[in-house]
């Protein structure tokens, strides 16, 4: 482990780089995994237990602390916090179109990417735990996909855990990808209806944007084309507490008068720029490459979201009333549309057709769980379905649920200090 130490007002940060096996079945080949240990100023030499944070995603690095506030502030009252950049993200050896070029063939790229699911993320975490604190257990805080990592940890190495907190991230243990995306489409339809109820004038604005994009080639500021389908992927924001407003205020500025003096309108460059900031598919390719693989166990996803789309005619672009945004779905056309995904198209096809994915969750072992778990389950969560979370909780003992409609999926970001405080009290039996 190599490390450096820096400080912020109220925080001390130890930045650590670990050399770990890329493939734990063949440990000679290594990768680098980064983790940042965060401690409240003045608490560096205490014997506080550790808590590791698993970020949502997949494919996103851990948060970058800017001060002792929010959920981090609450965690640091009782723990030393480990912010893990999951393999392939952040300051860990990254997966990007640039770094993947060096692997050569699409098959080699796909073989490499298969090492970047929750099973190996948890193996990395266990290796880091042992280097940091030996046999002492630590806690977990898992947000969204981080909850998937937490359930894998409970299944694979519960002896390393003292307690688990999950926010919006209890997966189904056995359901195939098709079940997940059928549920997702239904939830996204509901969110669209709520959006248009709040902003009914946006129906015509959205129809107009879609018509324009189907008739005119529009180039994004960083390259690539803005298609109607890409525009409608903005619905990915609808599961956040501020998602409706983010999209509403964006589409208000979609058009400007052109420069030809004929009052012919064209897409506003500012609109295109801000739209691009809301879409991280180019910068976080793991999300597009591995999203459906989050759910596959001894089966291929075969582009589940794309196959199932025909079951939901509500998403037709030909509708004359309410054109629907899509949500957390990945489509093969994205690998023709987003510039940084194009070089990975063949690898994505191989991954989608792969049926050799290992089992992620040992259900029988989870039925014997003794690690205390407290989880916030958001009643109207668009991304992780409440019914599936409750189904899992009925299987896994020692798991307490806080089912709430007070928050959307971003509850940890929106009111993290209160959310973590409630979960800590639950896991300790104080509420």
Where in the sequence numbering do the catalytic residues fall? 144, 381, 409
Query: Around Cβ 144, how many Cβ atoms within 10 Å?
Result: 25
Measured CA to CA, the distance from residue 311 to residue 326 in angstroms comes to 14
Parallel/antiparallel/unpaired status of strands 80-85 and 30-40: antiparallel
Give 179's contacts (C-beta < 8 A, 6+ positions apart). Answer: 172, 388
Q: Interior CA angle at 60 toward 58 and 62, to 5°? A: 120
Of 362, 421, 360, 429, the residue nearest 396 (C-alpha): 362
What are φ and ψ of residue 266, in 5° steps? -140, 170
DSSP string computed for 326-381: --S---TTHHHHSTTTGGGHHHHHHHHT---PPP---HHHHTT--S-EEEEEETT-
Please report how many Cα atoms fall inside a 13 Å half-sphere around the Cα of residue 186, on the Cβ side. 11
What are the residues facing 374 on neighbouring strands?
A: 165, 400
CA–CA dist 24, 354 (Å, integer): 20
Positive or negative, the Cα torsion across 168, 373, 33, 79?
Answer: positive
**Residue 9 burial class via C-beta count within 10 angstroms: exposed 0-12, middle 13-18, buried 19 and up:** exposed
User: CA–CA distance from 25 to each of 21, 115, 124, 356 (Å)?
Assistant: 9, 11, 13, 16
Residue 171, classified by CB atoms within 10 Å of its CB into exposed (0-12), middle (13-18) or buried (19+), is buried
Q: Do 49 and 41 meet the contact criterion of CB atoms below 8 Å apart? A: no
Question: How many of the other CB atoms lie within 10 Å of CB of 319?
Answer: 14
Question: What is the rounded distance in angstroms from the CA atom of residue 328 to the CA atom of residue 280?
Answer: 12
Q: What CA–CA distance (Å, rounded) separates 395 from 393?
A: 5
């Amino acid at each position: 482990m190599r490390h450096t130490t820096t400080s912020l007002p109220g925080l001390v940060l130890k930045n650590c780089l670990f050399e770990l096996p890329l493939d734990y079945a063949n440990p000679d080949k290594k990768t680098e995994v980064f983790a940042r240990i965060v401690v409240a100023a003045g608490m560096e030499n205490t014997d506080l237990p550790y808590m590791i944070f698993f970020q949502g995603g997949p494919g996103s690095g851990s948060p970058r602390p800017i001060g002792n506030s929010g959920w981090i502030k609450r965690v640091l009252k009782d723990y030393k916090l480990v912010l893990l950049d999951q393999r392939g993200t952040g300051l860990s050896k990254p997966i990007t179109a640039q770094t993947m070029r060096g692997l050569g063939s699409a098959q080699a790229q796909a073989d490499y990417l298969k090492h970047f699911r929750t099973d190996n993320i948890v193996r990395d975490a266990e290796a880091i735990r042992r280097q940091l604190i030996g046999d002492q257990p630590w806690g977990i805080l898992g947000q969204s996909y981080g909850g998937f990592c937490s359930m894998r940890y409970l299944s694979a190495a519960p002896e390393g855990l003292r307690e688990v907190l999950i926010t919006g991230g209890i997966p189904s243990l056995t359901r195939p990808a098709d079940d997940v995306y059928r549920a997702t489409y239904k939830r996204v339809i509901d969110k669209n209806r709520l959006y248009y109820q709040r902003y009914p004038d946006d129906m015509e604005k959205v129809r107009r944007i879609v018509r324009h994009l189907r008739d005119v080639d529009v180039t994004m500021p960083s390259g690539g084309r803005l298609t109607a389908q890409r525009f409608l992927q903005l619905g990915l924001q609808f599961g956040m507490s501020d998602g409706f407003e983010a999209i509403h205020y964006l589409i208000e500025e979609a058009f400007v008068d052109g420069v030809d003096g004929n009052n012919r309108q064209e897409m506003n460059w500012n609109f295109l720029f801000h739209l691009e900031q809301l879409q991280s598919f180019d910068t976080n390719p793991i999300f597009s490459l591995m999203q459906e693989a989050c759910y596959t166990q001894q089966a291929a996803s075969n582009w589940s979201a794309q196959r199932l789309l025909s079951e939901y005619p509500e998403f037709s672009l030909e509708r004359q009333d309410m054109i629907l945004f899509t949500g957390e779905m990945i489509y093969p056309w994205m690998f023709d549309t987003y510039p940084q995904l194009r070089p990975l198209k063949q690898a994505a096809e191989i991954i989608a057709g792969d049926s050799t994915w290992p089992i992620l969750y040992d259900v029988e072992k989870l039925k014997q769980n003794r690690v205390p778990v407290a989880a916030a389950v958001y009643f109207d969560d668009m991304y992780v379905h409440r019914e599936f979370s409750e189904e899992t909780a009925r299987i896994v003992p020692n798991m307490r649920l806080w089912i709430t409609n007070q928050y959307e999926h971003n509850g940890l970001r929106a009111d993290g200090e209160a959310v973590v405080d409630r979960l800590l009290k639950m896991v300790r039996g104080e509420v």
